[in-house]
Every structure is written in structure tokens, then in C-alpha cells.
Amino acid sequence: MIAIHRLLALLLILAAGNHLTRFATVARAADADGKLRIICFGAHPDDAEYKAGGTAAKWAALGHHVKFVSVTNGDIGHWQIAGGPLAQRRTAEVKDAAKILGIETEVLDIHDGELLPTLENRRALTRLIREWKADVVIAHRPNDYHPDHRYTGILVQDAAFMVTVPFFCPDTPSLKDNPVFLYFSDGFQKPNPFSADVIVSIDDVLDKKIAAVHALPSQAYEGGASGSEEFMKPIPKDEAGRKAWAIQTHGGRYAAVANRFRDALVKWYGPERGKDVKYAEAFEVCEYGRRPTPEELKKLFPFFGE
């Protein structure tokens, strides 16, 4: 009997050892490719696409690894339909957008409009950041019009130190280096307006970004939770007409970012290139992760050239 127990114990140790070796090999392979690893958390299946889709496409084109996470499943984000079918539709939409952008995507199965900054959700986001071995994490600022946006911002802030703490969620290896955490741009003024600490021209990937927007018809063309039959009336039904409409309306938002933060564009691109940028995405550095120098930001956002 004792011999059998010993044999079983030995087999268990061997199996665990094999598993650990495999895990370590996978981790090394991911580290070894020398590419950046970026994870963006939007509250709904469209937020990260709208706020960082162009920059994500630029990272992906250089071989860097980008993942978008929607923290809720978007299941009340439409004026006409809701529930499981809407969650499934929106998950399929962001999967299509991810293919266009060259990134990965995941939708967490949390009800839209019901996200709370709980310990369970803090753990979930901490594990996702660790599993992605993120160098860069981007999310909403915690002052935003939608409660899911606010709590996504809070949850990511809450993870910004905990990702490095080994005995918080000890089932998922902690990160040795704290990532750089940033925020998507927004127009809210209180308690403080958004600061464009980094700004990226998306002129060269506007087609791709508009194609990604085009892949989200429930939001882009049907208006999501704020839509209506009236809203949809002036929007073209054909592909080409819709894309032109998307360039006008959504493109207009990225042009507004470029114009609002023209000084930042000049700072990052120089006066000649900076004044010519038409469409941009901007990001603010969060105080709670690693604090990057301007040189490090240039390495994390390798788009500015010399």
C-alpha cells in the first residue's frame, strides 16, 4: 500500500513539474519576442475601439500584441433589443473589429449598466493584466458620464498596484515590473480636464479605424442605447454610404481630438508634422502605475520617428 502511495505522489510531482516547466517556457517565449504588450479596458463592446482603435492598429502593424477587453457584455446597449441576443451580437461585432485591427478581444460576461467596483471584479482585472503580461494598460478615467465607464476606471486604478503584489491573487503570477497605466481621452472637466500626455496621429490608419467602426453597426449606425428610428433615418443603408457617413461623424471626433490637443501634436511630432495631423487619439498617464519618462513613452508609443 505504501509503495502505491509513493508511486502516486511521485507521479503527481512529475505532472506538476511538467506543467510548471511548460508554463515557464510559454512565459519566456512571450517575453522573448521583444514586442510590447498592451491591454485596453473599455466598459462596453465599442469603447476601446472608438478611443484607441487607431493606435492599436499601429501597434499591431509593428508586431506588438494588443488586447481589448470589454468589461461588460453590452446587453442593454440598444434602444430596440436587449439581453443575451444583444450581448452575442455585440461580442461578434468586436470580434470582427479585432480582426480588422489585428488584435485580440474579450468580452466579460457582466451585465451592462450593472458593473460595480467589487473585490471579485478587481481580482478579475488584475488577473487579465497579469496574464497578458502587460507593459501598457489603458482604461477610462474614473470621472465619466456612464457608471460602467467610471467603475472600469476605478477597477483598473485599483489593479494598478495590486498587479505587482505576489500574494494578491497568488494563483496568477504577479508582474515584476508595474505597467504604465493610461487613460482614454474624454471631454469631462470636473474635477480636472483630460491632459493629452501622449497623442498619436492616426491619419495613416484612418481607413482601418473606420472599417472597425463599420463593424459595430448596433452602435455606429443604430445608435446603441441612445438610438431610435428617427436617429437611423438620415444614415445611409448601403456600405459605401455608411462608410462615408462614419468618416464624417466618427472621423470628426478624431479630428476634434487633433485640433483640441494641437500643442501636444506639435510637441510629439515637431511643428511641421504636428500642424498637419488631421486625426488623432490621445492618452493621459495615470499616476498610479509606473511613471514613464518622455523617453520611455517614446518606446511604448513607437510612432514618432526622429
Using Cβ positions, the residue closest to Zn ion within the complex turns out to be 44
Contact letters (x/-) for Zn ion, 48-87, by CB under 5 A?
Answer: ----------------------------------------
- What is the CB neighbour count within 10 angstroms for residue 56? 31
**Residues touching Zn ion, count (CB under 5 A):** 3
Reduced to 3 states, what is the DSSP secondary structure of residue 76? coil
Nearer to Zn ion, 47 or 135 (CB): 47
- Contact partners, residue 188, CB within 8 Å, separation at least 6: 141, 143, 144, 145, 194
We find the least distance from the C-beta atom of residue 112 to Zn ion, in angstroms, to be 9
Residue 302 carries which DSSP code?
T
We find the least distance from the C-beta atom of residue 183 to Zn ion, in angstroms, to be 14
Q: At 84, phi and psi to the nearest 5?
A: -50, -45
Nearer to Zn ion, 44 or 250 (CB): 44
- Compute the distance between CA of residue 295 and CA of residue 263 in angstroms, rounded to an integer: 19
Q: Is residue 143 a contact partner of residue 100, using CB atoms and an 8 Å limit?
A: no
Nearer to Zn ion, 70 or 126 (CB): 70
We find the least distance from the C-beta atom of residue 177 to Zn ion, in angstroms, to be 30
* Sequential DSSP letters for 259-296: HHTHHHHHHHHHHHHHHH--SEEEEEE-SSS----HHH
- Compute the distance between CA of residue 258 and CA of residue 183 in angstroms, rounded to an integer: 16
Nearer to Zn ion, 43 or 139 (CB): 43
Closest CA to 284 of 170, 141, 160, 148: 141
Nearer to Zn ion, 123 or 149 (CB): 149
We find the least distance from the C-beta atom of residue 196 to Zn ion, in angstroms, to be 21
Q: Name residues contacting Zn ion, limited to 246-265 (CB under 5 A).
A: none
We find the least distance from the C-beta atom of residue 139 to Zn ion, in angstroms, to be 11
Nearer to Zn ion, 44 or 242 (CB): 44
Q: Name residues contacting Zn ion, limited to 14-53 (CB under 5 A).
A: 43-44, 47
We find the least distance from the C-beta atom of residue 134 to Zn ion, in angstroms, to be 21
Nearer to Zn ion, 43 or 134 (CB): 43
We find the least distance from the C-beta atom of residue 28 to Zn ion, in angstroms, to be 37
- What is the CB neighbour count within 10 angstroms for residue 256? 14
Q: Which helix (H) or strand (E) holds 128?
A: helix 119-131
Residue 79 carries which DSSP code?
S
Which residues contact Zn ion (rule: CB under 5 A)?
43-44, 47
